Every structure is written in structure tokens, then in C-alpha cells.
Amino acid sequence: MQRLSMTQQRDPLTYQIIGAAFAVHAELGAGFLEAVYQEAFEVELKAREIPYIREHLMEVKYRGTPLRTRYKVDFVCCDGILVELKALTTITGLEEAQVLNYLKASGLTTALLLNFGSPSLQYRRLVF
């Protein structure tokens, strides 16, 4: 009988997505541009049969009014998990704030911030 970790038990979908990110980082390491990681991550999501939409345009509302300006999120996985990829030396509060704003504007509640630019994959699970 396989024992599940607490993360697997609490949120199996984000666990699967993070696993895909670890596979990409293990194969490519740090040092590529974000676009390379986006493409490789898409290949890995397909291989693992994790449903996703890449570069999804999201509506931004101000006081209930949709704005003409939209933002493009890197991925929306499993019909509701926003996934933002970075290739930075380290992630900071600025990147976390950006993703929280994306959640707020989109109406989604869960996001993953994945950073491939450091020697080890950095990830944050954010809930709005």
C-alpha cells in the first residue's frame, strides 16, 4: 500500500503540477529563458495528461466593469489552477504579489508560482 504525503492528500492536483515542474527542472536545470521552460513545461503536462490552457487571456475588472486591457497568464491547469512560471535567481514578494493580483482579478482561488532560474526549483502555492 502506497502512503500519500500530506501535500498529495490535501491537494493532489497542485502536487501533480509541481511534479511536472520538478521533472522539467531536473532535465534542463537553471539558466534558460522563461520561454524555454514554458515550452518544456507544456510538453511535460501533455505527457502526464494534466489538462491545461497555455497563455490564457484573463479579464480584469474594475468596480465590476471589465477593462479592455487583459493579462496573459502562463497556464491555467485542471480548470482552475493558475500557474505562473519564472526564470529568476530567486522569487520575491514582488512575484508573489503579482500572482495574488492575478488570482484576485481572475476569480480563481489557487495559484502556483514556479521558478526555474535557481539551482533548485522554487515553488509557492498561493491561495486567495
Chain length of the chain: 128
Q: What is the pLDDT of residue 8?
A: 47
Cα torsion through 124, 11, 84, 88, rounded to 10:
30
∠106-121-97 over CA atoms, to 5°? Answer: 35
Maximum Cα interatomic distance, the chain, rounded to a whole number of Å: 52
**CA separation for the pair 42, 21 (Å, rounded):** 10
> Residue 9 has what pLDDT?
55
**pLDDT tier for residue 38 given thresholds of 50, 70 and 90:** very high
Angle at 113 between CA 68 and CA 63, to 5 degrees: 30
Q: 8-127 adopts what CATH topology?
A: Lambda Exonuclease; Chain A (3.90.320)
Mean pLDDT of the chain: 90
